[in-house]
Amino acid sequence: MQDGLPIGRAAKASGIKVPTIRYYEQIGLLPSVGRSQSNRRLYDAVDIDRMKFIRHSRELGFDIDAIRALLRLQDDPARPCADADLIAQKRLVEVRTKISNLKLLEAELSRMVDEGTHGRIATCRVIETLADHAQCSYHGANA
């Protein structure tokens, strides 16, 4: 295979760093690619598109196992979309849970600041709450 981009140019084209491309090859997200006569990896347009798919999936927070499953689905275009939908739904639940937890965290931090006396450390609500887990409504909600 003489046509294709060397790994540095493939990294630039895909937005993925060279060590990460090698890692993705090592764990099987990217197939092994052809090599030049000088033994340099050469990536074609299909490889670059796959790298972009992986990068975008990572940006959306999909874990490696989910990406691996999505890539298998992508490689079998005749399959129904239901499996991909389930993977995306699972990720959506994770995101919504994180948002909910962040809202609880925001409320707790706001409460700590609002209830603070802004006087001395001896009566500081922030210090009291951090020192006594039982006073923290955030941890009570996530227990």
**How do residues 12-39 score in pLDDT, each as one tens digit?**
999 999 999 999 999 999 998 878 778 7
What is the DSSP annotation of 87-140?
HHHHHHHHHHHHHHHHHHHHHHHHHHHHH--SS-GGG-HHHHHHH-GGG-HHHH
Per DSSP, the three-state class of 52 is helix
2 — pLDDT class (breaks 50, 70, 90)? low
**Percent of the chain at pLDDT exceeding 70:** 92
**Percent of the chain at pLDDT exceeding 90:** 63
What is the CATH number that goes with domain 1-79?
Answer: 1.10.1660.10
Give mean pLDDT, residues 59-85. 95
pLDDT reading at 109 higher than 80: yes
pTM score > 0.85 for this model? no
Number of residues assigned to the chain: 143
Each domain of the chain, given as residue ranges in start order, spans 1-79, 81-143
